[in-house]
Amino acid sequence: MRFAFNMLLAASVVSVAAWLARRFPIMAGFIVALPLNSLMVLPFSYVQHGDAGNTMLLAKSIFAAVPVTMAFFLPFLFAGKLGLSFWQAYGLACMTLCLGFLVHRAVVPHL
């Protein structure tokens, strides 16, 4: 039951942001950039598993991931200057995210 609630809440946030993106893309971008997932996942994780140490490690992992995952947006920022289509920028962004994951994986154990 708890899993279904978590899934419904997360899906609702994503759906509202996607709906807002059509008429208010700037507002939708701000909402998506909020740490909504972190705000939901941290207490859900603690309540579900009851392990404060594991939840603290999760929070540290999120902290390290935020700046690394920002690299995802670099191809979009330079798409105009580089003459990239949306899909080209998106593909490069996904590759950048994969590289970011490797950086994240190397950094988190040292936190």
The model's pTM is 0.69
The 10s digit of each residue's pLDDT in 22-66 is 999 888 888 877 787 888 889 989 999 999 999 999 999 999 998
pLDDT band (50, 70, 90) for residue 7: confident
The 10s digit of each residue's pLDDT in 60-95 is 999 999 888 899 999 999 999 999 999 999 999 999
3-state secondary structure string across the chain? CHHHHHHHHHHHHHHHHHHHHHHCHHHHHHHHHCCHHHHHHHHHHHHHHCCHHHHHHHHHHHHHHHHHHHHHHHHHHCHHHHCCCHHHHHHHHHHHHHHHHHHHHHHHHHC
Tokens at residue 43, please?
């207490």
pLDDT at 10: 81
Residue 36 corresponds to which amino acid?
Answer: L
Mean per-residue pLDDT over the chain, rounded: 90
